[in-house]
Structures are given as C-alpha cells and as structure tokens.
C-alpha cells in the first residue's frame, strides 16, 4: 500500500548498482563457494556500514547484520549482535526465539574452535547450554526454532546461485540475498537432525507424550497428541487445540500447555497425520470436536475440565466447538480467529486469491506443504498469469496446475449462506454460549474482522455474555503469541509489548483453577491506544469512541473543510477499464518523504489538524454513487500524513456493493442511478494522531491480481471473464458521501 518516492528509488538503485567480485566458478564448485562466501559477506558488511544502509528499523538491521557476521565466520560478534537483536525483537521472555538455531550454530562453531572438539560434540554442548538457560515457558518454541526445512533451503540457495551463472560480479542486493540463503542452508544442514534428536532427549526427560488415533461415531479417524509434564502426577484441566497444521506445531501446542501446568491435547482435523479421511477444511470441526472434548474429559489425566486455545484456523475451531457446547468445555481463548465466510476465504464477500495458496498448503499432504506455501514467486506468477489471461476466477486453480474441489465448492457460496452458517454459531445460537471467553486480536491482524464478528454476535445475542476482548498493535502472529517491538516497520508502545501466552494461561488459571483475574482485564473491552503508551478499558466495544468525524469526499483545497457537509452536490468521476491489463501505476506525492499508489482510485486530503486527535474504532460511512454497471467492489484506505510527511496506515476496507446491505443476500445496483452503499466491517484502529498531521482517504475499485475481479454484469462474479468487461466502469462518487471516523475524547 505504501510506496517510497523517487529519492528512495534512486537510493535502492544505487545500492543494487554497487558490485562485488564473485567468481562464476563459485556457482558450480562447492569448495570455491565455501572460500568465497566469507569474503563476500565481509565486503557486504563493510558496505553495510560505510554507506549507512539501514533497513526500515533496527530489528531488520540487526537481523541482517548477525547473518552477515555468521557467513563471515565472525561468530563472537554474531552472538553479540543476536543478543541485541533479541532485545529489539521483543522485550520479554519470548524474545528472539526464532533466531535460536543460528545462535546455537554460532556457539557450536566457537566451541569447536576453542576446544578442538568435533562439531557434533560441540553442537551438543552448545545446545545443552542454550536449552538450560531458557525460561521454561520458552522451551516449547525450541522445536519451531531449530526445525528448519533443509531441502527447501537447498533449493533456495541453488536458485540464488543460478542467478549468478556466467557472471564474475554480484550487485549489493543479490549479494545480501545470497548470503542469507547460504546461511540458512549452512546452518540447518549442519545442525539438523542432530539438534532435533537432542531436543527429543530433553523432551523425554521433561514430558510424557502420547499419540493416539480416535475413531468418531461416523467412523472417521482423528489423530490426537497428549503432552504432560512428568512432575505433575494428579489429574489436571486439559487445554485442547484443534489443529489442521499437523507437524512440529502440534508438539509446540501440547508442550505450551504443559509448561503452564496443564495437560496439552492437540487433535488434528480429518485427513491430517494418520487420518485417511477426506480433508475438507472447516466443514466438520463442530461435529468432531464434541466427541473429542467428551473423550479427553474422561481420561485419567483429566480432572474433567477442558479449555481451548489457538489462533487463525485454530481460533475458528473453538467457535465451531461451541456451536454445540459440551458440558466439560469451560472456556475458550480464540485468537485472531478466522471468520469463515466473513473475512476468509472472502472478505466482505470478495474472494481472495490467497485462498487457493492456503488450500494447497493444508491439503497437499498429511502435514503442511511449507515449501509450496512459502514460494512467493510461484504464487505471484500464478496470480499474474490469471490476471493477464482475463479468464474467470474459477480458472485460477486450473492455471495453478492443480484443480481443487475445495476451491470450487467455496466459490459456489459467494453470500453468507447455510454452507458457512452451519460451521459456527449463527444468530440465536450465540445466545446459548454461556462459558467465559477471552478473544485477542490486533490492529494489524488479517483476521481482525472475523475475530470481532464473533465477539459482536456473541454480545448481540447474549447480553450477559462473560466475554473479554483484548486488542493492541499486533499482527496476525503477535496477537496469538506476543507483542513484537516493531510491527509494520514501526515501534509499538512499551505498554503493548506483552506476552499473549502469559495472558491466555493466566486466564486459564482464573477460570479453571480459581486463580486471580489477569490484571490487564480491567473491563470487558481492553485496548491499547497507540502513541500514548496506555491501555483503555470499557464495558463494550461501542464505548471505545465517544464521537465521530464525517470525512466528506471533497477536496479541502476548494472547501473550508472535508469535515463539513458540502453545500452543493457534485461528484468525482472515476473510470476503470477492466479490459486493460497493463495499467501504468499512478502515485500521489503526499510530501517530499512519501507517496501513495492511486491506480484506479481517487483521493481526498484533509486540512492540517490543529490539535491532537485519538482515532479509536472502525471507520464506517455511506457512499452515494452512480455507476454504469450492476455491481462493483470498492477499496477504501485511511492514512495519517504525519507532520514530518510520512504516511501511516490507519484502516482499510474492501467490499462488494451488492452485498453491502446484507452479506447473505445479493442486491444488484441499478445502473446510472444514485444509490446509497453502506460501508461497514472495516479494520479497527486506536491511535493518537498528532497535531499538525493530515488525514488521507483513498477510495477506488478493486482491480489487482490478488483479488477476484467484479466486472459488474450481475452474473456470478466467479464466472465473469474479460469478455464481460464491456465499456469501462464509470463511477460518480458524490461529495455528500462520507467516511465516518471514530474519535475518542476523555
């Protein structure tokens, strides 16, 4: 969304233009490569410092630096830089776990040099030393940190080397990328599988792990993993996770519950691990989980109380579980929960290309296809090929080379119909959910809209719901683990840098062990106001703002204020030619420091704010438009232009106009007639906007390779092709349209 202006582009080009010697023989001769890589890394480090090249923040800088130091074989400095990187990454007990594999490798190389021990012996010493130094609550993450995909790293290194075939020099950006690819392969091919075996020994000392196959009444097979601390002899409450991402993550979930002194139980969905059933994501969780909860609650290691936790799909699973509530299920902690049919696989009824990438990720095998999922170049090329072809959205899976029945079935349900409704509680069913619930999400969480959908529906249909909500400046990963120091390139307030794990298990202690309520939960809705270093606490979500500003679609240069309703009606015309697949991107330079992409969009900039403003909540509004088609998909973005000229993303919204009034029933527009299109279900944000800032509103039509294209014929959008595009879409955005910006005042 955010694009640097010409000066930044020139700087990047200069970086890429700088060349280093790198013999072409290194591409094919591993001995020459081993000799050249430390020399190359040393040159990059020198350049790194002399040109004062800085990534977007200190975390990214230290991350790149420790990797370069390792390739240069300066292991002492790499360990020092890693320690600094951990502090920058997160300033609590979860800090820097992702870099643990590199630290263990560096420690082993130092031990090998100092003691003249063999590398395997040195690695064992280094691993044991690191493991023993860790906070107990970090132990479950060790497996995630050291279990690198060596085969994939080998492929990525080969790909980076292949770019150098026939060349005797390498540019700065390619050198940096090659050093990182080389390090990943070098590190994990050296420590794996020995470190995994060492970890297995440690786990056996600390935990009891059992894996069983459960048979459901319908004859389906579900694999379940149970993990307990050996020292806990008495029955305990069980923390259950329903997980489609079968693999090492199962053991993480189980061990995480165990180190907080619970029994961890992780059940894989149908078709995963040992199950030969058909894998249809989302469809059977509600039915299966009732039986799983019944089983775990009756085991000798269980005291009969069950809680559930997890994020994303795993957050969805908990809402599926409470559609038919089992008496043993005492609480759930849904984090960043997928709102199935709400924000995924379509957001506000617009399907996303990512859905196919995810489907293949979880259905290609009995575990997860990490290499395929992380192959960004492959998926970018598939999406671009589809976009350029002009074929229907239904053709996307065929273009990918792997037709998908799940993909096609999802496309058959563009509205929120019974197919989606049967998977989770629907309307009055929320009234029957009377157990305590803790929901966590973040302002940068991809599934925030889904997480808040469940919260709002629960509070709507059950006025006495014992449901707590925690929101802060967290992304999809952070709101289900811990608050990173930097999010989206910007530092978050120290007050927000909390461990979500600690919060969740303090909640379990409170509900399942009669413990103290977590201090953060001072009221039902708890949210961190960015740029104030404070949390706010209110009894309901609608209290997080006290008033609102209506931002009208008018130019402040020709009007006293965008916040005043216009005296006369006029419109801004936007034309979008869906036949043209070679759009030249356009940009608006908001300042000397920043610019914004405005392709297929219009934009409106406010006057300078004369006082601080706290925006808190989700933008909404009314679009009064006239279009020469029967439908359209809108994009809306709200930004802060800081006093120094930098852009800051505040909220966004994508939606299909024909479902704007009712996400279950499509209501087509009447061409060339002024219609009111409500805007709702945008991303929530809470942030203090400094005096001297301006607000920027960018509104447009969705036309990218990343989302379904709506040509406006009124047919099923998934079936439309470029042949349906007809004349360019012409939208008149009337100036009495507005976006309502929620404001909080003490």
Instruction: For the chain, list residues with pLDDT below 50.
Output: 1-16, 52
Contacts of 102 (CB under 8 A, 6+ apart): 66, 67, 70, 78, 82, 183, 187
How far is the C-alpha of 702 from the C-alpha of 722, rounded, in Å?
15
What proportions of the chain, in percent to the nearest 5, are helix, strand and coil?
40, 25, 35
State the pLDDT at residue 95.
55
pLDDT tens per residue, range 129-145: 999 999 899 899 999 88
Give Cα 14 to chain centroid, integer Å: 32
pLDDT tens per residue, range 59-91: 778 888 999 999 999 999 999 998 887 777 665
Strands lying side by side in the sheet with 329-337: 207-215, 221-229, 263-268, 236-243, 302-312, 329-337, 437-444, 467-475, 525-529, 534-538
State the pLDDT at residue 98.
78
Measuring CA to CA, how many Å separate 120 from each of 46, 74, 116, 202, 537?
32, 20, 12, 17, 53
State the pLDDT at residue 13.
42
How far is the C-alpha of 353 from the C-alpha of 143, rounded, in Å?
31
| Total-model pTM | 0.93
How far is the C-alpha of 490 from the C-alpha of 648, rounded, in Å?
9
Asked if 623 and 722 count as a contact pair (C-beta separation under 8 A), the reply is: no
State the pLDDT at residue 484.
77
State the pLDDT at residue 8.
40
How far is the C-alpha of 139 from the C-alpha of 202, rounded, in Å?
10
How far is the C-alpha of 67 from the C-alpha of 388, rounded, in Å?
38
Closest CA to 130 of 41, 191, 57: 191
Give Cα 381 to chain centroid, integer Å: 21
Asked if 367 and 359 count as a contact pair (C-beta separation under 8 A), the reply is: no
Asked if 601 and 699 count as a contact pair (C-beta separation under 8 A), the reply is: yes
State the pLDDT at residue 33.
95
How far is the C-alpha of 356 from the C-alpha of 402, rounded, in Å?
10
* Tokens standing for residue 448: 């925030």
Three-class secondary structure of residue 222 per DSSP: strand
């Amino acid at each position: 969304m955010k694009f640097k202006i010409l000066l930044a582009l020139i700087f990047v080009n200069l970086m890429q233009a700088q060349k280093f010697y790198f013999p072409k023989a290194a591409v094919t001769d591993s001995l020459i490569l081993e000799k050249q890589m430390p020399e190359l890394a040393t040159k990059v480090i020198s350049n790194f410092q002399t040109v004062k090249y800085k990534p977007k923040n200190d975390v990214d800088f230290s991350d790149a630096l420790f990797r370069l130091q390792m390739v240069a074989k300066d292991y002492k400095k790499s360990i020092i830089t890693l320690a600094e990187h951990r502090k920058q990454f997160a300033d609590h007990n979860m800090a820097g776990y992702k870099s643990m594999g590199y630290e263990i490798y560096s420690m082993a190389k130092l031990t090998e040099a100092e003691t003249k021990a063999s590398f395997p012996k040195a690695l064992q010493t280094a691993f044991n030393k690191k493991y023993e130094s860790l906070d107990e609550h970090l132990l479950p993450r060790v497996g995630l940190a050291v279990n690198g995909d060596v085969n994939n790293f080998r492929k990525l290194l080969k790909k980076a080397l292949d770019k150098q075939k026939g060349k005797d020099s390498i540019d700065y950006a390619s050198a940096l990328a090659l050093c990182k690819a080389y390090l990943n392969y070098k590190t994990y091919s050296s420590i794996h599988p020995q470190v995994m075996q060492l970890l297995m020994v440690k786990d056996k000392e600390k935990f009891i792990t059992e894996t069983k196959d459960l048979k459901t009444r319908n004859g389906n097979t579900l694999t379940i993993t149970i993990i307990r601390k050996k020292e806990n002899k008495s029955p305990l409450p069980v923390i259950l996770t329903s997980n489609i991402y079968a693999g090492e993550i199962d053991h993480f979930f189980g061990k995480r519950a165990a180190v907080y002194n619970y029994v961890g139980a992780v059940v894989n969905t149908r078709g995963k691990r040992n199950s030969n059933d058909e894998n249809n994501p989302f469809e059977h969780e509600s039915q299966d989980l009732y039986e799983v909860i019944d089983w775990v609650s009756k085991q000798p290691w269980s005291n009969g109380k069950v809680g559930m936790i997890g994020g994303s799909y795993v957050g969805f699973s908990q809402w599926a579980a409470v559609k038919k509530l089992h008496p043993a299920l005492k609480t759930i902690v849904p984090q960043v929960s997928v709102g199935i049919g709400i924000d995924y696989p379509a957001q506000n009824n617009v399907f996303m290309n990512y859905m196919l990438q995810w489907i293949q990720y979880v259905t290609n095998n009995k575990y997860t296809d990490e290499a395929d999922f992380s192959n960004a170049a492959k998926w970018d090329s598939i999406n671009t090929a589809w976009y350029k072809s002009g074929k229907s959205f239904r053709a996307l899976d065929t273009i990918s080379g792997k037709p998908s029945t799940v993909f096609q079935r999802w496309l058959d349900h563009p509205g929120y119909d019974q197919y989606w409704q049967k998977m989770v509680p629907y309307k009055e069913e929320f009234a029957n959910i009377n157990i305590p619930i803790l929901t966590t999400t973040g302002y940068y969480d991809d599934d925030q809209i889904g997480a808040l959908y469940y919260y709002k529906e629960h509070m709507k249909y059950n006025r006495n719901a014992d449901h707590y909500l925690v929101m802060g400046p967290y992304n999809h990963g952070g709101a289900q683990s811990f608050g990173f120091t930097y999010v989206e390139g910007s530092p978050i307030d120290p007050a927000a840098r909390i461990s979500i794990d600690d919060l969740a298990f303090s909640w379990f202690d409170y509900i399942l062990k009669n413990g103290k309520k977590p201090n953060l939960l001072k009221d039902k809705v708890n949210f961190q106001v960015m740029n104030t270093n404070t949390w706010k606490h209110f009894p309901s979500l609608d209290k997080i703002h006290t008033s609102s500003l209506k931002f009208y679609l008018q130019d402040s240069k020709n009007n006293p204020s965008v916040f005043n309703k216009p005296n006369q009606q006029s419109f801004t015309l936007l034309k979008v030619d869906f036949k043209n697949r070679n759009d030249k991107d356009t940009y608006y330079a908001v300042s000397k420091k920043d610019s914004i992409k405005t392709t297929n969009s219009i934009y409106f900039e406010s006057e300078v704010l004369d006082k601080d403003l706290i925006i808190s909540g989700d933008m909404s509004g009314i679009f009064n438009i006239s279009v020469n088609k029967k439908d359209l998909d809108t994009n809306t973005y709200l930004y802060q232009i800081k006093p120094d000229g930098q852009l800051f993303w505040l909220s966004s919204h994508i939606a299909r106009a024909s479902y704007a009034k009712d996400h279950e029933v499509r209501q087509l527009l009447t061409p060339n007639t002024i219609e009111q299109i409500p805007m709702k279900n945008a991303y929530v944000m809470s942030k203090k906007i400094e005096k001297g800032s301006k607000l920027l509103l960018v509104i447009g039509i969705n036309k990218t390779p990343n989302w379904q294209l709506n040509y406006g014929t009124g047919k099923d959008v998934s079936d439309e092709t470029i042949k349906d595009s007809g004349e360019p879409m012409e939208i008149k955005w009337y100036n009495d349209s507005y976006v309502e910006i929620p404001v909080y005042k003490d």
